[in-house]
């Protein structure tokens, strides 16, 4: 999606050669402090504005979540969960901004069979390059957070770009810029982790003993992180996975299965070669050649029956 020419690429889907990085880069991250978030959806509006996305005007289904799910035109979404805390007996309205986590070890990129359709920049942002996308949907299978969506209009995959176009010119993502309460912060990953620790301290002082930072190791850490009141139970926040990992199928598909597949193809080629060497090439016998010439003559001179020459001329 983005014009990535000003960002250096670290990884590229389905490519063995990676472009060189000549600039030194700090990794960036977006920190979403769920405890400061009021669920106002200004981030959703900003995302639609900046990326010029307009989803359909939907309906109410009995919840505040609108649109109801991520779509090719909704790259970020507030997800609301009502949770009755059994310890404190208090109701908690857990509101999480959902969207691409920009994994350090991105399952989508791993799964993608199309060269250059998914890239990871040196700053950590994972971006879809739609012109290279073949719409196979493997990125969805590869994603442990269920983020990418395929457009039914152009059969391309879409998701949050972390505003790579803005970041490339030194700006924060649109959502972070818009957030009225400062719940969405953006900076170097290091600075965001430091910020998160300060927030976690505050939450612990308010009785959230299990407050913590969500930066899951199973995907090598992420470039979108959460401060959670209940970091021990991330699944409370509308199913945020506790220990996300890339599906073993992807590892198999890109690891074992790929090797096996390539090996099978290699064996087929080798078998052909040995057949050639041992049996020699196919040859045409003299009588077959003559017959063919006659058929050709008949096709030229013989009456056509209106439907063309094919059927009448076909040898038997």
Partner 1 sequence: MTNLWMDIKHADVITVMGGNAAEAHPCGFKWVVEAKAHNNAKLIVVDPRFTRTASVADLYCPIRPGTDIAFLSGVAKYLLDNDRIQHRYVAAYTNAGYVVKEGYDFQDGLFTGYDPDKRDYDKTTWDYEIGPDGYAVVDETMQHPRCVMQLLKTHVAQYTPEMVERICGSPRDKFLKVCEIIATTSSPERTMASLYALGWTHHSKGSQNIRSMTIVQTLLGNIGMLGGGMQALRGHSNIQGLTDLGLMSNLIPGYLNLPIEKEPTYADYAAKRTFKPLRPGQVSYWQNYGKFFVSFQKAMWGAKATRENDWAYDYLPKLDVPTYDVIRGFELAKQGRMSGYVIQGFNPLLSFPNRAKMTEAFSKMKFVVVMDPLQTETARFWQNHGEYNDVDTKSIQTEVFELPTTLFAEEEGSLSNSSRWLQWHWQAQEPPGECRSDIEIMSGIFLRMKEAYRKDGGAFPDPIVNLTWNYAIAESPTPHELARELNGYTLAPIEAAGTQLPAGKQLDGFAQLKDDGSTACGCWIYSGCYTERGNTMARRDNTDPGDRGIAPNWAFAWPANRRVLYNRASCDPEGKPWSEKKKLIEWNGKQWVGFDVPDYGVTTAPEQGVGPFILNQEGVARLWTRSLMRDGPFPAHYEPFESPMANLAFPKVKGAPAARIFKDDLADLGTSQEFPHVATSYRLTEHFHGWTKHAKINAILQPEAFVEISEELAREKGIAKGSWVRVWSKRGSLKAKAVVTKRVKPLICDGKPVHVVGIPQHWGFIGHTRKGWHPNSLTPVVGDANTETPEFKAWLVNIEPTTPPSDAVA
| H-run or E-run covering 84 | strand 77-84
224 is in an annotated binding site: no
Least Å from the CB of residue 72 to partner 1: 14
Rg (CA), the chain: 28
C-beta of 80 vs 115, nearer to partner 1: 80
163 is in an annotated binding site: yes
Three-state SS for 12-68 is: ECCCCCCCCCCCCCCCEEEEEECCCCCCCCHHHHHHHHHCCCCCCCCCCCCCCCCCC
CB of 92 to partner 1, least distance (A): 7
In contact, 147 and 99? CB cutoff 8 Å: yes
Candidates 218, 249, 242; CA nearest to 228 is 242
Burial environment of residue 193 by CB neighbours within 10 A (0 to 12, 13 to 18, 19 or more): middle
Each residue 34-73 as x (binds partner 1 by CB under 8 A) or -, in order, gives: -xxxxxxxx-xx--xx----xxxxxxxxxxx-xx------
194 marked among binding-site residues: no
Smallest distance, Å, CB 22 to partner 1?
40
CB of 178 to partner 1, least distance (A): 10
Q: 49 or 288, CB closer to partner 1?
A: 49
Given the rule CB under 8 A, which of 8-16, 29-37, 109-117, 169-177 is the region that contacts partner 1?
29-37
> What is the DSSP track for 204-252?
HHTT-TT-EEE--GGGT-BSEEEEETTTT-GGGTTS--SS----HHHHH
143 assigned ligand-binding residue: yes
Between residues 49 and 154, which has the closer beta carbon with respect to partner 1? 49
Binding residue count for partner 1, defined by CB under 8 A: 40
Identify which range of 136-144, 174-182, 252-260, 286-294 contacts partner 1 by CB under 8 A: 174-182
Spell out, one character per residue from 193 to 232, where the chain touches partner 1: x when CB under 8 A holds, - when not. ------x--x--xx--------------------------
Q: Which of 153/286 has CB closer to partner 1?
A: 153
Q: Does 92 bind partner 1 (CB under 8 A)?
A: yes
Collapsed DSSP state (helix, strand, coil) of residue 174 = helix
CB of residue 219 to partner 1, shortest distance in Å: 28
For the bound state, the minimum distance from the C-beta of residue 269 to partner 1, rounded and expressed in Å, comes to 53
Q: Is residue 30 marked as binding?
A: no
Q: How open is the CA angle 137-131-24, to the nearest 5 degrees? A: 100
Cα–Cα distances in Å, from 220 out to 19, 136, 225?
A: 21, 25, 12
* Contact by Cβ (8 Å): 270, 243: no
Alpha helices in 62-215 (DSSP H): 107-111, 138-142, 164-167, 174-178, 189-205
* CA–CA gap between residue 95 and residue 97 (Å, rounded): 7
92 among annotated binding-site residues: no
Among 93, 260, 267, 276, binds partner 1 (CB under 8 A): 93
Asked if 151 and 71 count as a contact pair (C-beta separation under 8 A), the reply is no
Indicate the residue among 54 and 210 with the shorter CB distance to partner 1: 54
In the complex, the smallest distance separating the C-beta of residue 221 from partner 1, rounded to whole angstroms, is 25
List residues near partner 1 by CB under 8 A.
35-42, 44-45, 48-49, 54-64, 66-67, 82, 84, 90-93, 95, 180-183, 199, 202, 205-206
């Amino acid at each position: 999606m983005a014009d990535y020419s000003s960002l250096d690429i670290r990884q590229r889907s389905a490519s063995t050669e990676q472009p060189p990085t000549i600039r030194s880069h700090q990794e960036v991250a977006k920190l979403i402090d769920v405890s400061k978030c009021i669920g106002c959806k200004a981030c959703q509006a900003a995302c639609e504005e900046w990326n010029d996305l307009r989803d359909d005007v939907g309906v109410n289904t009995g919840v505040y979540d609108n649109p109801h799910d991520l779509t090719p035109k909704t790259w970020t979404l507030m997800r609301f969960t009502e949770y009755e805390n059994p310890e404190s007996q208090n109701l908690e309205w857990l509101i999480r901004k959902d969207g691409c986590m920009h994994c350090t070890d991105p399952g989508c990129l791993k799964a993608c069979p199309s060269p250059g359709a998914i890239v990871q920049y040196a700053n950590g942002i994972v971006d879809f390059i739609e012109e290279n996308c073949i719409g196979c949907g493997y990125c969805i299978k590869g994603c442990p957070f269920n983020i990418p969506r395929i457009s039914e209009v152009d059969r391309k995959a879409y998701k949050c770009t972390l505003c790579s176009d803005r970041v490339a010119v030194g700006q924060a993502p649109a959502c972070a810029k818009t957030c009225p309460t400062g719940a969405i912060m953006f900076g170097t990953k290091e600075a965001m982790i430091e910020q998160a620790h300060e927030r976690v301290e505050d939450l612990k002082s308010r009785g959230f003993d299990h407050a913590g930072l969500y930066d899951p190791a199973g995907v090598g850490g992420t470039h979108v992180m959460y401060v959670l009141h209940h970091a021990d139970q991330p699944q409370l926040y509308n199913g945020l996975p506790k220990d996300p990992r890339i599906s073993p199928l992807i590892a198999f598909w890109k690891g074992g299965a790929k090797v096996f597949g390539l090996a099978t193809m290699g064996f087929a080629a080798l078998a052909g070669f040995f057949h050639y060497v041992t049996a020699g090439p196919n040859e045409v016998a003299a009588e077959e050649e003559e017959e063919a010439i006659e058929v050709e003559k008949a096709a030229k001179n013989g009456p056509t029956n209106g439907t063309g020459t094919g059927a009448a001329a076909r040898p038997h």
